[in-house]
Structure 1
Amino acid sequence: MHISVTEAKGLLTDLLKRAEAGDEVILTRHGHAVVRLVPIRPISTATSRRTLLDRIRASAAKKAAPGPRAAQSQDFLYDEDGLPK
């Protein structure tokens, strides 16, 4: 939504509500865009970041599947002396 600064003065409360809801609100001066109203994202705290990391780690641990160790994954190709079969 593009609206002139002059018009926006009387509609500021409504424009703020629209911007908070996710609408793009651009203020213009003499037909040129000068300002975009966007909502401020909440600043994350150390505890919220820690909680997010813990959830990601727990999710990753659930998806991990045991498999052969890398050191032994190709052993069937070689004999006891380490030479190819």
Structure 2
Amino acid sequence: MRVSVTDAKGQLTELVRRAEAGDEVILTRHGHAAVKLVPVKPAPDRKSRRALMEVVRATAATKAADGPAAAQSQDFLYGDDGLPE
């Protein structure tokens, strides 16, 4: 639903209810879309936050895999004579 900002002033409570219910509410200014009312996502509960933190801690505790040495990371760009290939 599209509503002008001027008209929305008088029916803001109803527009917020509709947006919370899942309706798309777009406020227009001079006939052009200006803003969209969307519901705020609820914050995760304590149990979900704790589970996420445990995953993050476990991931951080694992050691990163060794890769190629940085000193030789660009050797493939140059030939034995030191010139670019």
TM-score normalised according to structure 2 size: 0.55
Counterpart residue number, 1:19:
19
Q: How far apart, in 2, do the equivalents of 1:19 and 1:38 lie? A: 6
In the alignment, structure 1 segments of 5+ residues that lack a partner are 52-85
Superposition pairs of residues 1-85 of structure 1, within 5 angstroms = 1-45=1-45, 47-49=47-49, 50=51
Q: Counterpart amino acid of 1:23?
A: D
TM-score normalised according to structure 1 size: 0.55
Counterpart residue number, 1:78:
none
Three-state SS of the structure 1 residue aligned to 2:13 is helix
Identity %: 65
Q: How far apart, in 2, do the equivalents of 1:34 and 1:13 lie? A: 18
In the alignment, structure 2 segments of 5+ residues that lack a partner are 53-85
Count of aligned residue pairs for this structure pair: 52
Superposition misfits of 4+ residues, deviation over 3 angstroms: none
Deviation sequence 1:52-79 (CA, Å, 0-9, x none): xxxxxxxxxxxxxxxxxxxxxxxxxxxx
- For the aligned residues, what is the CA RMSD? 2.0
